[in-house]
Amino acid sequence: MAAVPTRANIDIGAALAEAEDLYRERNPKSFAQHREACAAMPGGNTRSAIHVDPFPLTIVRGEGARLWDLDGHEYVDYLSEFTAGIFGHSHPVIRRAIDAALDEGLNFGAHNALEARFAAAICARFPSIELVRFTNSGTEANLMAVSAARAITGRSKILVFRGGYHGGVFYFRGHGSALNAPFEYLLGKYNDLAAVEDFVQPHRGELAAILIEPMQGTTGCIAAERSFLAGLRALANETGALLIFDEVMSSRLAPGGLQEAHGILPDLTTLGKYVGGGMSFGAFGGRADLMERFDPRRPDAFQHAGTFNNNVLTMNAGLAGLTEIYTPERARALNTGGDRLRDRLNAVAQRHGLAMQFTGLGSMLAVHMTDRPIRSQDDAEHGNALLRDLFYFDLVERGIWFAKRGMFALSIALDEADHDKLVGAVEDFAETRAPLFG
């Protein structure tokens, strides 16, 4: 039986309909582009996360921390390509690195001069990584790490967590995905160690790996408590399972990722996004005794191929980005600034008495339309989804670009004036929409 809408929800629905009408009126060229795209792609889409109802905007240009859409509107980019765009658009150092690669040729079918230097920089940066291999995406990196764990342990089951996202075939938000890789999953509750230990107890001898994001990005920037991660480290030690930290997003939150910040080392770590200079990239690495199983000089070596694993564009851009731009000092500065911004945004919500909060760590944050503590997907689901959609349309209309699900990721191209604009837009939303919060 359908729930009876409350007066507040009726009002929110009317406000949302009005906001969507304004969105349609302002973006006729994006709508036409969407209709044209639907003729060749299902729903005009080849990347589910960027679809927006009633239709997505088409972005045609980016520079620094700015984006422009097909209808000529300018936005401050607070999405930063879902954390991959940490350098902003066309950073000159990244551009020079790519130009240098283009000048020397693209596809060698061989080792190149930079891959070992890039690998060494990654090993030096992330404390759990003694040896590393490259892939083309974070999804591939997680697929290889999980597959390696199953092969090394001779076991079949993988402990994952509700709300987790580890790429296109490891989707555990909401009701999950019918397209997930066909492994045997145990689906635990994030940030509830006692429940996880009880849940795993009957499967201890079958557990190959524990796969976790130290902060769940896609589900709303929900940070794992250090005690929870420490408990999982102990559980892995006790059962003989391998602990895998998916730091594809969270590696940006401290010079050596959240593993460094918490002082808890996994057996394997997966990377992606910004580490490749914003290019297509993934990596998995960890303890030498595990990663040496991929040494092709061994007669029993694991096979791991990939035409573009060491492509020269990513090798050049990644090395420049990690060693010349996003240095440890720059990482600390960006994330300290992100903490200050999140405090300012939460102060706006508190000043207006709204059931609204911004979660996250450092340079990643997300908005939730609830004032209840958020420690897991279950908590996040108590937020008012209609208000969050209204927040999206209101801020896009004010020139702020971010994910409709409420996620923000900072780039080094943003400055204090940009942060002031975001805070001002949230202040406008709070003042205008406060009556809808009930």
Q: pLDDT tens across 75-103, in order?
A: 999 999 999 999 999 999 999 999 999 99
Confidence category of residue 10, pLDDT binned at 50, 70, 90: low
Query: For this structure, is 165 an active site residue?
Result: yes
100-117 core/surface letters (b: 16 or more CB in 10 A; e: else): ebeeeeeeeeeebebbee
Ranges of CATH 3.40.640.10 domains, the chain: 92-325
Is 99 tagged catalytic? no
Instruction: Give me the pLDDT at residue 128, please.
Output: 98
- Summarised one tens digit per residue, pLDDT across range 165-199 is 999 999 999 989 999 999 999 999 999 999 999 99
- Computed over every residue of the chain, the mean pLDDT equals 96
* pLDDT of 341 higher than 80: yes
- The predicted-structure confidence for 196-250, as pLDDT tens digits, reads as follows 999 999 999 999 999 999 999 999 999 999 999 999 999 999 999 999 999 999 9
Task: Classify the C-alpha dihedral 181-186-189-191 as positive or negative.
Answer: negative
Alpha carbon distance 366, 342 (integer Å): 9
Q: Which amino acid is at 316?
A: N
Could you tell me where in the chain the CATH 3.90.1150.10 domains are found? 7-41+61-78+328-415+424-437
Q: What is the mean pLDDT of residues 15-24?
A: 97
CA distance 366 to 380: 11
Rounded Cα gap, residues 127 and 263, in angstroms:
9
404 is catalytic: no
* Per annotation, catalytic residue among 165, 171, 274, 392: 165
In the set 69, 77, 192, 246, the catalytic residue is 246
Three-class DSSP category at 380 = helix
Angle between helices 385-397 and 7-26 (to 10 degrees): 30
Count how many residues are written for the chain: 438
Q: What is the dihedral of CA 188, 189, 192, 194, to 10 degrees?
A: -40
Superfamily of domain 7-41+61-78+328-415+424-437: Aspartate Aminotransferase, domain 1 (3.90.1150.10)
Domain 92-325 listed as CATH 3.40.50.300: no
Active-site entry in 78, 157, 273, 389: 273
Distance from C-alpha of 257 to C-alpha of 274, rounded to nearest angstrom: 12
- Binned at pLDDT 50, 70 and 90, residue 9 comes out as low
Query: What pLDDT sits at residue 438?
Result: 77
Per-residue pLDDT tens digits for 236-293: 999 999 999 999 999 999 999 999 999 999 999 999 999 999 999 999 999 999 999 9
pLDDT at 114 over 90: yes
Burial grade of 343 (CB within 10 A; 0-12, 13-18, 19 or more): exposed
